[in-house]
Amino acid sequence: MEEGLINDLLAKMRKYNDLKAFKTIFNHFYSKLIAVSRIYVIDEFYAEEIVSQVFIKLWDNRGTMGNIDNLHGYLYVMTKRLSLNHIRDNQFNKAYTMDHIGISAKISISNPEESLLNEELVNIIQQAYNKVPPKAKIVYQMVKEDGLKYKEVALVLNISVKTVEMHVGKVLKIMRQEIEKYKSNADIKIVLLNLIIP
């Protein structure tokens, strides 16, 4: 969803208490924020509760929140803070890494030969991705899958833009090194590189 459309939806929420605009924002961000909360909170039930709280706060404060320049960053920061508060308040819940999220490759399957090739591709990607440090996985997911800019990721994770660049570079380096092992099959190598490069 484009930034201009998001700003229009926020304006409608503020000025007209527009539930349809709120629902559109909710539908766009909900699953992404669940994934962010699951970085910190183990149980999906609690992640869903936390994200629900984020949207309740967004709706409750719609008239007084002023102009939000970056709703992506705003929602991610709020989700992170509420998730960390949950961990603090429930110390039996440990911080969690993205290993449980895994990596999804959008690959179509039309025949048994392609199915075997696709299974091999997914295995290669998963093996390479398992070698990536947890913090780098978080940063990479936010850039590649969630479409955040480096500056937005830096804001959300409270790190510098240079650190974001370093983490993304580390993921790409590890993935490329693993893909280089498959030089004999040029088709696999091309598909893999297209899947991982942001």
Q: What is the pLDDT of residues 30-78, one digit of tens each?
A: 998 998 888 888 788 999 999 999 999 999 888 876 667 778 888 988 8
What does DSSP assign to residue 142?
Answer: I
**Tens of pLDDT, residues 98-154:** 343 344 434 444 455 555 555 666 677 778 878 888 888 888 877 876 677 888 888
Is-contact 21 12, C-beta < 8 A?
Answer: yes
What does the pLDDT read at residue 20?
95
Is-contact 72 148, C-beta < 8 A?
Answer: yes
Over range 80-95, report the average pLDDT: 72
Which tokens belong to 74?
Answer: 């705003």
Domain extents in the chain: 3-89, 102-196
* 3-89 and 102-196 agree in CATH topology: no
- In 3-state terms the chain splits into helix, strand, coil percentages (rounded to 5) of 75, 0, 25
**Tens of pLDDT, residues 152-164:** 888 777 789 999 9
Which tokens belong to 177?
Answer: 């090194």
For residue 15, pLDDT over 60 is answered with yes
Nearest C-alpha neighbor of 83 from the set 36, 130, 127, 119 = 36
What does DSSP assign to residue 1?
Answer: -
CATH number of 3-89: 3.40.50.150, 1.10.1740.10, 3.40.50.620, 3.90.79.10?
1.10.1740.10
Which is higher by pLDDT, 198 or 83? 83
Is-contact 146 137, C-beta < 8 A?
Answer: no
What does the pLDDT read at residue 68?
72
| Fold type of domain 102-196 | Arc Repressor Mutant, subunit A (1.10.10)
The tokens 């498959």 sit on which residue?
182
Rounded to two decimals, the pTM is 0.52
Q: What SS3 state is found at 125?
A: helix
For residue 14, pLDDT over 60 is answered with yes
